[in-house]
Structure 1
Amino acid sequence: MANFVKFGLDSLVDVLKAAGEPTRLRLLALLAAGDLTVTDLTEILGQSQPRISRHLKLLGEAALIDRYQEGAWAYFRLTQQGASVELANTLLKYASENDPVLQRDAERLAAVKRIRSERAQDYFSRNAAEWDELRRLQVADEQVDEALIELIGEKPVDAFLDLGTGTGRMLQLLSGHYRRAVGVDASRDMLAVARANLDKAKITAASVRHGDIFNLPLDAQDFDLITIHQVLHFLDQPEFAIAEAAKLLRPGGRLVIIDLAPHNLEYLRDEHAHLRLGFSHQMVADWLTKAELDVETVQDLRAGGEGNPALTVTIWLARDPRMLMAAGNDSEIPGILAKRA
């Protein structure tokens, strides 16, 4: 039987007041389906921006929604954890899909997401030639995916972070493994692609946001799995990105790095903005050790075929060595029970 969180009377009334108003309940239903801006929400609900902003403020104060900034835009989404949002999700489950107001909201939401997808597809189409050329040089995505999933294993992941998320491919690949996930990227164009892909795949447990990999807008020790997939070779100081990622790991959490082994394709510097021509096993292992992580696995994946230049992909798996203490039960999902000094 599920363990229901109990509220004090005042706290329960506060949450019910926040959610128990038609516009705010409509907002919760929309934000449960993904990240949206105030502009998106005003367009869908047909209400003024000040009114929508006021309702969002009240929902935020009740810890029902999260807000994050991306350049000039502020995005909102349903909070992914906490007692208040569990209660809100329960209320939403009792809302009829046949309600005409909610049906109209869903139709307008679909239109907003369709426009978002069209814009993302336009960007992707303009850059497709570059992506296709790089794919021909490397190991097939399917081979990398299979190796990654095998390394991660079947144990449930509570919180997953994908750094340099690009099109959100890792968020989609691992969607059956995590309870909640965040993808961070420095390119707003790529974030638009990622959002469109998550919408299309109907993945609501993951969100993406703009951020600097060297100064991440996230809480320390909040993730038990982090991936950095084909990102380090674009960075001048990749060791700093690894150190920043390590700060976000929970005790016992894992960091997976997927990148290129050393190669001599110099043209990738000028034509594809690669700052590093691959990484040796020892180089990345040294950076991981300096970040106070234990290297558990290093695996090379070599492209098949002959006659064409091929880039070897390497996967490094490292773990935060701090001990996880028993939480008083046999839960599969670890908690934050130890702190990095």
Structure 2
Amino acid sequence: MADQGLRLDEAVEVLKAAGEPTRLRLLLLLSAGDLTVTDLTEILGQSQPRISRHLKLLGEAGLIDRYQEGAWAYFRLRGQGGNIALVRAVLSAADGSDPVLERDHGRLKALKQARSERAQDYFARNAAEWDALRRLHVGEQEVEEALLAALGSAPVSRLLDLGTGTGRMLQLLDGLYDEATGVDASRDMLAVARANLDRAGVSRAGVRLGDIFNLPLEAASFDLVTIHQVLHFLQEPEAAVQEASRLLATGGRLAIVDLAPHAVEDLRDEHAHLRLGFSHAQMQAWLDQAGLSLTRVVDLTPSTAADRPLTVTIWIAIKGEAVAAPSADLSARPLAAGAR
């Protein structure tokens, strides 16, 4: 989606807001990811009131977004709009070898390294459980390849990833979207996601704390919503589908990746699964109730069911009427692992 051009007076106001040394430094830092006032204070070596005042001015100019995560407030460069296109052009002209900017970059790198170490410590403590679950179904690479094929290459303006976890969907789909938001109810997982996005150099995606059933986000404001391996943890997964539909613009798509019905009861106790998979009929009913039209289903069934008993299913639905008649994928026939 092309950014709308600015009137002369609008362009002048944007340049006034950005045209101050501290504010320009803040914009450069926030273009690299989400940061708190404390983070920015440490990096710039300025007082918190001074940083907060500059952030307030940048927010009033519509150049940055602010969101709350518990007691912390995070800031990031806004994703779209003609004013942001102008700001990004200004930022791209900045000389990275400037001593002040070099120092800012070095401090940001150190902060991100510390963040990454804390996140990876949490991840390491829980990795054994996640690895055990992954061994029960087809490889993640096959699932991701199937999802990419199902979504196609059409560009997406705004992406929302519900239950973002490690932020993997935000990384996988980077390049497809202009702006993305990942939401999760776990602060620990958000720390992992931020570290992963930093490491991958993904700058147009941010993550935030949120309730998947009641998000403080504007209705009809996203072109693609993804829910990857989340619904089986929820007591009322259909409510999450309803919330996803509320947030989708007409013609927007919902992509759900989850498990087909299975009988691995151990997952209830060992991995906190509340649902043992979802049938095509059940998912179809929930999508219909949410005003979504199912357009594609892909089943990824392991070739050795005895060792890997879980089938992963991808459902793609569109907000409103489907453009074309349902494809042959809707026959719900199992596909061999890796089939498309």
**TM-score w.r.t. structure 2 length?**
0.92
Query: Shift of the alpha carbon at 1:7?
Result: 1.9
For residues 131 and 232 of structure 1, what CA distance do their matches in structure 2 show?
Answer: 16
1:250-296, Cα deviation, whole Å (9 max, x unpaired): 11111011111111111111111100111111001100000011111
Q: Do 2:3 and 2:82's aligned partners in 1 also have CA atoms closer than 8 Å?
A: no
Letter of the structure 1 residue corresponding to residue 193 of structure 2: A
Q: Do 2:184 and 2:211's aligned partners in 1 also have CA atoms closer than 8 Å?
A: yes
Q: Which residue of 1 aligns with 2:297?
A: 298
For residues 275 and 15 of structure 2, what CA distance do their matches in structure 1 show?
Answer: 54
For residues 3 and 34 of structure 2, what CA distance do their matches in structure 1 show?
Answer: 29
Q: Where do 4+ consecutive residues of structure 1 move more than 3 Å?
A: none
Query: Which SS does the other structure have where 1:145 is aligned?
Result: helix
For residues 112 and 195 of structure 2, what CA distance do their matches in structure 1 show?
Answer: 7
Q: How does 1:1-341 map to 2 (within 5 A)?
A: 5-9=5-9, 11-305=10-304, 307-321=306-320
Letter of the structure 1 residue corresponding to residue 302 of structure 2: A
For residues 307 and 322 of structure 1, what CA distance do their matches in structure 2 show?
Answer: 40
Q: Which runs of 5+ in 1 are unaligned?
A: 325-341
Query: Which SS does the other structure have where 1:208 is aligned?
Result: strand
Query: Shift of the alpha carbon at 1:72?
Result: 0.7
Query: Shift of the alpha carbon at 1:13?
Result: 3.2
1:223-248, Cα deviation, whole Å (9 max, x unpaired): 11111010000000000000000011
Q: Do 1:160 and 1:181's aligned partners in 2 also have CA atoms closer than 8 Å?
A: yes
Query: Shift of the alpha carbon at 1:303?
Result: 1.6
Letter of the structure 1 residue corresponding to residue 199 of structure 2: K
Query: Shift of the alpha carbon at 1:309?
Result: 4.6
Q: Which residue of 2 aligns with 1:330?
A: none
For residues 129 and 44 of structure 2, what CA distance do their matches in structure 1 show?
Answer: 40
Q: Do 1:251 and 1:323's aligned partners in 2 also have CA atoms closer than 8 Å?
A: no
Q: Do 2:293 and 2:321's aligned partners in 1 also have CA atoms closer than 8 Å?
A: no
Letter of the structure 1 residue corresponding to residue 63 of structure 2: L
Q: Do 1:66 and 1:77's aligned partners in 2 also have CA atoms closer than 8 Å?
A: yes
Q: Which residue of 1 aligns with 2:337?
A: none
Q: Do 2:184 and 2:209's aligned partners in 1 also have CA atoms closer than 8 Å?
A: yes
For residues 6 and 261 of structure 1, what CA distance do their matches in structure 2 show?
Answer: 49
Residue 308 to residue 52, structure 1, CA distance change in 2 (3 Å): same
**TM-score w.r.t. structure 1 length?**
0.91
Letter of the structure 1 residue corresponding to residue 5 of structure 2: V
For residues 198 and 37 of structure 2, what CA distance do their matches in structure 1 show?
Answer: 18
Query: Shift of the alpha carbon at 1:306?
Result: 5.2
Query: Shift of the alpha carbon at 1:304?
Result: 2.5
Query: Shift of the alpha carbon at 1:14?
Result: 2.4
Letter of the structure 1 residue corresponding to residue 320 of structure 2: P
Query: Shift of the alpha carbon at 1:308?
Result: 2.1
Residue 180 to residue 217, structure 1, CA distance change in 2 (3 Å): same
Identical pairs, percent: 66
Letter of the structure 1 residue corresponding to residue 68 of structure 2: Q
Q: Which runs of 5+ in 2 are unaligned?
A: 324-340
For residues 280 and 310 of structure 1, what CA distance do their matches in structure 2 show?
Answer: 15
CA RMSD in angstroms comes to 1.5
Query: Which SS does the other structure have where 1:97 is aligned?
Result: coil
The alignment covers a number of residue pairs equal to 322
For residues 78 and 3 of structure 2, what CA distance do their matches in structure 1 show?
Answer: 20
Bigger CA drift: 67-76 or 172-181? 172-181
Query: Which SS does the other structure have where 1:197 is aligned?
Result: helix
Query: Which SS does the other structure have where 1:14 is aligned?
Result: helix
Residue 61 to residue 248, structure 1, CA distance change in 2 (3 Å): same
